[in-house]
Structures are given as structure tokens and as C-alpha cells.
Amino acid sequence: MAIIYGCLLPHPPLLNERVGKGREKEISETQKSFSYVANAIKELEPDTIVIMSPHTTTYSDYLHISPGEAAHGDFSSFGARGEKLSVTYDTEFVRELILSGTKAGIPMGTEGEENKALDHGVMIPLLPISKVYDNFKVVRLGVSGMYPITHYEMGMIIRGVSEKLGRRTVFIASGDMSHRLSHDGPYSYSKEGPVFDSWIKEIFETGDFLRLFEREESFLEKAGECGYRPIVTLAGTMDGRNVITKVLSYEGPFGVGYLSCEVIPVGNNKDRNFFDMYKNKEVSRLKEVKEYEDPYAALARLSLETRLKEGRVITLKDAEHISLPSDISSKAGGVFVTLKEHGTLRGCIGTIEGQRASLGEEIIENAVSSGLRDPRFDPVTVNELPYLSYSVDILYPAERISSIGDLDPKVYGVIVSKGHRRGLLLPNIEGVDTKEEQVEIALRKGGISKSENYVLERFKVERHGES
């Protein structure tokens, strides 16, 4: 067997009557959707329910799977001590999932569990199901900070394990939509919030899961969502399948979007192999970028690719086939090299002032450092090279300014200094729209608090390549 049913369910604690104490009536359509899904699953009689919750243990570079034989949870933290849930884990499925995922190069496992108790992202969807059907085991997953396409691949692996073990499997994506739909919601209003909710709703209405990769990470952050990666993983379980998708309900009375949907696989369809389509499209796009690449960015690419493939650092003589400006070997200055993969930052290292004899040497060294020495990321591997885009920022000299009012995040970068501590942020960064955001990020990077008497400087850059 394989994945026989998939669904997206929100997880508002108020949905539970003992927590809501009447307020659950304000999301009555969501209640009806939960009842509908519970009965649909009862009819299907699955062996295993795989559920991914953003409130289960989460890591930036590792996908956590809950360990052990069983787990329990209750709603005491929400003021409802009498409501409890116990689940038995499918340990065979977990073992096989780790083996298959690790073989595919996805860091995952059962290490590092922060809280054994079931979180509300698991309990809210499973409780109504368990009340009508309880002859199933559970695989409980957290999300990670890894790329969306990696979560999609994880969904494909879940399906493969299900087929290998002969499990009748249901996948539940537990997640709310935007938490920023109104000014009186849990977070401040963001215009990206309603756009995010409409976008995801349209995707489920059409079943066009390839569209899940058309938005930048910065958009997702501004939308204040928590269900995106579970949704992408759900889509991955259906890769290469015809599906019947249905939006069951959508509500947002508390400033948070609650979307309930079902996905039913109905046969294979090679035209829906979205994983391969995405990969091929991205490789083709970057091949075209490489063909017409800015010379500075091309030098950065050559530097990192040669270091990884041949184990050596190039010289400017190795780049004679690139039409580099004549002054790149004589002029010196500060340079930042930025790498992106699948639209997400993959590394950024630079120098505020030139440390080497020429801009060319500065680019070569900083490109290698961006790929291999950025402490925020694991070193880039050879397999990632076809998916990388490069940008090179040549820094103009910085000038001291008297106040934040002299900044413009689209035009100027900022440097904040306090003693030996220093934080820098480049200009025109996706998702950084205000002076306040720009300075706040720079302060954080420099380990400087807002209350300290820090020095502000601004600078312009000459940007080359993809930003």
C-alpha cells in the first residue's frame, strides 16, 4: 500500500470544547471539517498516520522524528486538564524512514527530543480522529529550517517507506495559515498574511503543487505562517500522482487563518512529477544565468567550484577566459560574496575594507569563504553547485552618520560599531524594508544591544550578479 489520504488541518486549541468554552462556535466550519476528516479516515482504516507539526521539536538543519514506543499529551497548559491523548508510535516505520532519508542525504533522526509530550499541533488533529477510529500507529515529525524542496523530497520518502512496508498510510499536515491577518490578532498585521492564505487556498483548489515553490522565504516570514513546510511535505507524498483536492473550510476570526483541505490520490501521472520538474527548471535557469553571468559573479563561481572540485584556490590567471574589468587586478577594496540556493541564503562572507592586493583576489578568497566558512551553514558540497546563484558586492567607503534618519535600506548598507564589536548589513536585501529593521539586524549581528551608545555608518555598494 501507499499514502491513501492526505489532509491539511489547523491546530487552534480553542477548537477543543474544554479549552474553547464556547468560543469554538466561532470556528464552527473548521469543526465540521475536522468531523468530516475523522469520518473519512475511519472509513479508510489506515495502519499508520504520519503527522508533521511545527510545534514538535524543530531544528534548522535536521528533521526530528519523535523516538520511543509511545507518547502522551494533555491540554493542561490550556486550562483543560481532563482532555488527554495517548498514541503508539510505528517504530518500524520510523527506523525505515531514517534509513531511507539518510540514504537520500537528508539529515534526520530521533536525537535531540526537547519534549516527549505530544504538542497541540499533534493533539488537535488526532483527538477527533481517535474518538471514531483508534486502530492506528503514529509517526510524529517536526519541521526544519531546510529548504522547502527538501521537505517535498521528505514527503516522497515517506510515501516510499509506506509502499515498502505495505502500510495503509494517512499523512496529516498540521499547520495554521498566517497569524497576521488583523491588527488585533496574535501578531501585528502584515499585508503578506492575506496574500499567503489566498495563495495556499488556490493551490489546494487547483492541485497545482508546483506553485508551492514560487515564493521567496522572506515572503513566508512576513506572512507569519506555520503550516507551509507541512503542506510542502504533504504535496511530496503525492508526487507523480493524480489527486482530487478539496478545500473543506477557511476561517480567520481571531486574526489567524484556519484552512482545512483533503487530498486523495487517484492514480499515477508522470506529468505531475513536480520534484523532477522543479529540479530541471532550476538547473536550466541557472545554466542560462551562468551563460550570461556578470564577470564578477562568474569569478566567484569559478573560485568556489574549482576549490570544491579540484581542491585548489585559483589565481586571476585561471580566469582569463572571463571578460573581467581591467582594474580588477590593480584596484583594492571591500567585497562581499553572497550565495543563494533555491532562493534562500546559503552563505555570505565579506570584508568591509580590502585585505588583499586587488578586488579580484578579494572576490576569490571571499567566494571560497562564503561556501566553506560561513559559521551559520554547513560547507557547500559538490552536489549543490548546480543550484547556487552568486552575487558580489563591491563596497564604497563608509561614512559616519548622525542618526538612523540618514539611512535608506534600498540604497545604503549600514555598519554599527561599539568598541571592537561590529555588525554590517548590505543594502537592498529581500525582506528588509525599513531603516529600523536594517539597524536591528546589524545590531544583532554585532552582538550590540539597542540601549548601547553605538556608532552608525552607511555605505553604498556596486552589486554584480543575482541579488
What is the CATH number for 185?
3.40.830.10
Could you say which of 387, 411, 433 is where a domain stops? Answer: 387
Asked whether residue 97 falls in the same domain as residue 235, the answer is yes
* 287, part of any domain: no
* pLDDT tens digits, 258-312: 999 999 999 999 999 999 999 999 888 888 888 889 999 999 999 999 999 999 9
Assigned C-alpha cell, 273: 512529477
Asked whether residue 34 falls in the same domain as residue 61, the answer is yes
Asked whether residue 119 falls in the same domain as residue 229, the answer is yes
For position 165, what pLDDT does the model report?
Answer: 97
Question: Which residue carries 548622525 as its cell?
Answer: 402
Helix, strand, coil % over all residues of the chain, rounded to 5 = 40, 25, 35
What amino acid is encoded at 403 in this protein?
S
* 285, part of any domain: no
Asked whether residue 403 falls in the same domain as residue 355, the answer is no
Maximum pairwise Cα distance, the chain: 76
> Which bin fits 82, alpha (ψ -120 to 50), beta or left (φ > 0)?
alpha
For position 433, what pLDDT does the model report?
Answer: 84
Answer for the pair 40, 81: CB distance below 8 angstroms, yes or no: no
The torsion angle over the Cα atoms of residues 392, 396, 397 and 400, rounded to 10 degrees, is: -100
**Radius of gyration, CA atoms only, the chain:** 25
* 165, part of any domain: yes
What amino acid is encoded at 118 in this protein?
L
For position 26, what pLDDT does the model report?
Answer: 86
For position 1, what pLDDT does the model report?
Answer: 64
Side-chain half-sphere exposure of 153, counting CA atoms within 13 A:
20
Q: How far is CA 199 from CA 177, 254, 441, in A?
A: 10, 20, 29
Asked whether residue 335 falls in the same domain as residue 403, the answer is no
Q: How many independent structural domains does the chain possess?
A: 3
Asked whether residue 170 falls in the same domain as residue 124, the answer is yes
For position 289, what pLDDT does the model report?
Answer: 84
Assigned C-alpha cell, 388: 547556487
CATH number for 317: 3.30.700.20
Could you say which of 354, 387, 420 is where a domain stops? Answer: 387
Asked whether residue 302 falls in the same domain as residue 207, the answer is no
Asked whether residue 263 falls in the same domain as residue 327, the answer is no
Task: Specify the 3-state DSSP secondary structure of 193.
Answer: helix
The Cα–Cα gap between 268 and 36 comes to 26
Q: Which of 96, 215, 242 is nearest to 149 (CA)?
A: 215
Asked whether residue 117 falls in the same domain as residue 183, the answer is yes
Count of C-beta atoms within a 10 Å radius of residue 235: 31
Q: How far is CA 410 from CA 349, 405, 425, 441, in A?
A: 20, 13, 11, 15
Asked whether residue 89 falls in the same domain as residue 142, the answer is yes
* 404, part of any domain: yes
Count of C-beta atoms within a 10 Å radius of residue 243: 19
Beta strand spans in 89-217 (E) = 108-109, 137-141, 169-174
Q: Which of 169, 165, 173 is nearest to 124 (CA)?
A: 173
Q: In which residue ranges of the chain is pLDDT below 70?
A: 1, 467
Could you say which of 362, 387, 412 is where a domain stops? Answer: 387
Asked whether residue 123 falls in the same domain as residue 254, the answer is yes
Answer for the pair 167, 218: CB distance below 8 angstroms, yes or no: no
For position 447, what pLDDT does the model report?
Answer: 92
CATH number for 439: 3.30.1490.150
Asked whether residue 323 falls in the same domain as residue 191, the answer is no
DSSP 204-246: HHHT-GGGGGSS-HHHHHHHT-SSHHHHHHHHHHTTTEEEEEE
Task: Specify the 3-state DSSP secondary structure of 464.
Answer: strand
Q: Which of 423, 426, 388, 392 is nearest to 409 (CA)?
A: 426
Structural domain boundaries, residue 365: 293-387
DSSP 245-301: EEEEEEE-TTSS-EEEEEEEEEEE-GGG-HHHHHHHHHHHHHHHHHHT--HHHHHHH
The neighbouring-strand residues paired with 30 are none
* 348, part of any domain: yes
* pLDDT tens digits, 403-418: 899 999 999 999 999 9
* 288, part of any domain: no
* 243, part of any domain: yes
* 188, part of any domain: yes
